[in-house]
Structure 1
Amino acid sequence: MKNLIQQAIYNLIILWFSPLLIPFLLTTEKEIITADIKRWSEVLGLPQDNLWMQLLVLAYKTPEFRNLYYYRLFKGNLNGRIAMYLLKVLYPECTSLFLDSSCCIGAGLFIQHGFSTIIMADIGEQCWINQQVTIGYKDKSGRPKIGNNVRITAGAKVLGNIQIGDNVTIGANAVVVKDVPSDCVVVGIPATIIKRNGIKVAEKL
């Protein structure tokens, strides 16, 4: 009986979030939102339900996903954007996560936790950003450009008009203010390369 009650409550909660399907149906950004849903569902190990159910579960369980979802809708057509603005009143964003609307972000960005995180950069596909990360301007010269399959872990700072290559991992609390080549792991303050192409090294940026 307890399990039946819990399931009924869960179903009611999912039903409550069902209006968030409306902007998805209206937007021109369906393809990239679909890629995001698949990535988040895979990382979080969600059941392989239909796409709409996965969207609703993510919207319910992960406020960070809502931020990304609203960002995608903002980039789309007017109808989807209007629906998004109306629904944000009922389904608020994660307030500790700032995702700047001027960013250009590729498909499949995963944001883990999202607490006290600022994202103000152009980002490639299949990236991963942890909590307490700051990515953005150091001065008026510009902001970071981040490649594909980049992971930026907890507390890291990526600042200024710099280029982060593909397949890069930025370690926890690292401070990166210079370009990082592809296929590297960087750590420390200031960040240095400790692994390149899978081989341990000790190189300055």
Structure 2
Amino acid sequence: MKNIIKTIWFYIKFIIFSPLLIPYYLTTEKELIKKDITKWIECLSIEANSSNIQLIHILQNSPEYRNLYYFRLSKGNLSAKISMYILKIIYRPCGYFFLDQSCNIGGGLFIQHGFSTIIMADIGENCWINQQVTIGYKDKTGRPNIGNNVRITAGAKVFGNIDIGDNVVIGANAVVTKNVPPNCVVVGIPAYIIKKDGERVRQELV
């Protein structure tokens, strides 16, 4: 009996959230959204055979993803944008996660929790950003440019016109205001390198 109720409830929720599939099938940004879905399914260990069910599951259970989904749709064609703006009235975005519309973001961005997280930067592919992270301007000179496969963990701050290289991990609560070379782990306030190309080091950022 419990399994029957669970199955019925699953399909009820699917029907409730299924209108969110409309802009997905209209948008020109489908390939980027597919990459995002793949990343979220992997990170959240969701089991679902259908891509539609996967997308609905994430939209329903991860309000942070809803912001990213709307961000993708806003970059696409007019018909998808119109349907997205209508649906946003009913399916509200996450209020504690801010993703600036001016950002350029590669596919496969994963937001874990996203509480009190602000993103104003250009970001590469397959990146991971945790809660209470702030990425953006230090002054009018510019904002960060973040490479591929970068992970920015809880409470980290990344400010200014700087470059974060590929395959970088920024430790919890680190404050980064200088360029970070590829293949590094940085921690601290101000941030410094503790691992580079797989080797343990103690190196200041320049």
Quick check: TM above 0.5? yes
Q: Which residue is equivalent to 2:188?
A: 188
Quote the offset at 1:3 in angstroms. 2.5
**Whole-Å separation in 1 of the counterparts to 2:48 and 2:57:** 11
Say which SS state the counterpart of residue 201 (structure 2) adopts. Answer: strand
Q: Distance in 1 between matches of 2:107 and 2:98?
A: 18
2:138: which partner in 1?
138
Q: Which runs of 5+ in 1 are unaligned?
A: none
Moved more, 7-16 or 101-110: 7-16
Say what the alpha-carbon RMSD is for the aligned residues: 0.7
Deviation at 1:49, TM superposition (A): 1.5
Q: Which residue of 2 aligns with 1:102?
A: 102
The aligned runs of 1:55-134 (5 Å cut-off) are 55-134=55-134
User: 2:156 corresponds to which residue?
Assistant: 156
Return the offset for 1:48.
3.6
TM-score by length of 2: 0.98
Superposition pairs of residues 172-187 of structure 1, within 5 angstroms: 172-187=172-187
Question: 1:60-103, CA deviations, whole angstroms, 9 ceiling, x for partnerless residues?
Answer: 01001111000000000000011110001111111000000100
Aligned partners of 1:91 and 1:2: how far apart in 2? 28
Q: Structure 2, unaligned stretches of length 5 or more?
A: none
TM-score normalised by structure 1 residue count: 0.99
Moved runs in structure 1, 4+ residues, more than 3 A?
none
Q: Specify the alignment match of 1:29 in structure 2.
A: 29
Aligned counterparts of 2:162 and 2:25: Cα–Cα separation in 1: 37
Deviation string for 1:177-197 (max 9, x for gaps)? 000000000000000000000
Give distance in 2, aligned partners of 1:192 and 1:138.
Answer: 18
CA distance in 1, matches of 2:139, 2:55: 37
The amino acid across from 2:166 in the alignment is D
Residue 6 of structure 1: how far off its partner (Å): 2.3
CA distance in 2, matches of 1:22, 1:42: 24
Q: How many residues align?
A: 205
Provide the C-alpha distance between the structure 1 equivalents of 2:117 and 2:74, rounded to a whole number of angstroms. 20
- Give distance in 1, aligned partners of 2:26 and 2:192: 46
Write out per-residue CA displacement over residues 106-149 of structure 1, whole angstroms, 9 at most, x where no aligned residue. Answer: 00000000000000000000000000000000000000000000
User: Is residue 45 from structure 1 mapped to residue 56 from structure 2 by the alignment?
Assistant: no
Classify the secondary structure of the residue corresponding to 1:18. Answer: helix
Please give the secondary structure, in 2, of the residue aligned with 1:23.
Answer: helix
Which residue pairs with 1:5 in the alignment?
A: 5
